[in-house]
Amino acid sequence: MKPAPFRYFAPETLDEALSLLAEHGDEAKPLAGGQSLVPAMNFRLAQPAVLVDLNRIAALSFIRPDDAGGVVVGAMTRQRAVEHSELVAARAPLVTETVPYIAHAQIRNRGTFGGSLAHADPASELPAVALALDAQFTLACRSGQRVVPAEAFYTDLFETACGHEELLVDVRLPTAAAGSGFAFEELARRHGDYALVGVAVAVQRGADGTLIDARMAYLSVGPGPVLATRASASLLGTRGETEALRVAASLAAHEDIVDPPSDIHATAAYRRHLIEVLTVRALTRACSRAQEGA
């Protein structure tokens, strides 16, 4: 269980890193916290010829407010720092609620916010949260930057809109508006395991108490994070009554999520069942919090 040979670079600036990526193209792989890439290399499932270690680029590690009332998180910010950030807790409470579900504290000390988002593992929590929050991803390459919404970032299994010469440099989380409520639910075999199913929910009530926005995003149910658009739409105009939540859960499990996987940990049928159970639980909490917030 030793990695195949590779060349190793540890640039100290973003420009150097982007130059290295431009030079080596798809032979190169950026190394963030290494919590997924290094085991994959040790199993020789990943054999990058060039490793560009981003850990010395201090400029990629930050959490700061943005002008619109949201928060921007640098890609190399450790998950543990996000977990403990008061700014994140105030402006993106769904993130604060979710991060403790990512593996274990030791792994979050090393794992990065951007690394997890860019790795695009369909079983990881942060991509679903980014979808539920409509987060904006900043991608940089030598010739400039572009901003991609979470929905466009995730394209397929472990596939994203990020090109070989690009790096995810930061993620913008929009502010929690008045009347909004959030919740995250997942079911894992053991604490810290990849979830069998998980759901991140963001809802918002209008002045009359009816739901004017709802976004539900799932993990471990498809090739990437899955946004349940029909289920979300069915909630608009309701007050989040139990029956409305059940309808939404059923739509999510049977229409939005077309083909939940069967694997050694859960069959597709069990996953569908869990989607319904967890959706009701998450929506119940989110709607109740939205009431508090309105």
Q: Which residues bind another protein (CB under 8 A)?
A: 1-5, 39, 43-44, 187, 189-194, 196, 242, 264-267, 269-270, 273-274, 277, 281, 284-285, 288
Sheet holding 180-188, edge to edge: 180-188, 195-205, 211-219, 226-227
Closest approach of another protein to the CB of residue 266, in Å? 5
**By C-beta, is 43 or 158 nearer to another protein?**
43
Closest approach of another protein to the CB of residue 203, in Å? 14
Sheet holding 63-65, edge to edge: 63-65, 71-74, 167-173, 136-141, 144-149
C-alpha angle 277-102-242 in degrees, rounded to nearest 5: 20
CA–CA gap between residue 232 and residue 213 (Å, rounded) = 8
State the DSSP code for 189. Answer: S
Q: How is residue 166 written in tokens?
A: 């690009």
Closest approach of another protein to the CB of residue 264, in Å? 5
Closest approach of another protein to the CB of residue 82, in Å? 22
Closest approach of another protein to the CB of residue 195, in Å? 12
Closest approach of another protein to the CB of residue 67, in Å? 37
Q: Which residues sit opposite 187 in a β-bridge?
A: 197
**By C-beta, is 38 or 161 nearer to another protein?**
38
Q: How is residue 67 written in tokens?
A: 């002008």
Total residues belonging to the chain: 294
**By C-beta, is 34 or 149 nearer to another protein?**
34
CB count within 10 Å of CB 204 equals 21
Q: How far apart are the first and last CA of the chain?
A: 54
Closest approach of another protein to the CB of residue 237, in Å? 21
**By C-beta, is 61 or 124 nearer to another protein?**
124
SS3 at position 206: coil
Contact 31, 53 (CB under 8 A): yes
**By C-beta, is 8 or 190 nearer to another protein?**
190
Contact 23, 142 (CB under 8 A): no
Contact 129, 117 (CB under 8 A): no
**By C-beta, is 71 or 201 nearer to another protein?**
201
**By C-beta, is 63 or 203 nearer to another protein?**
203
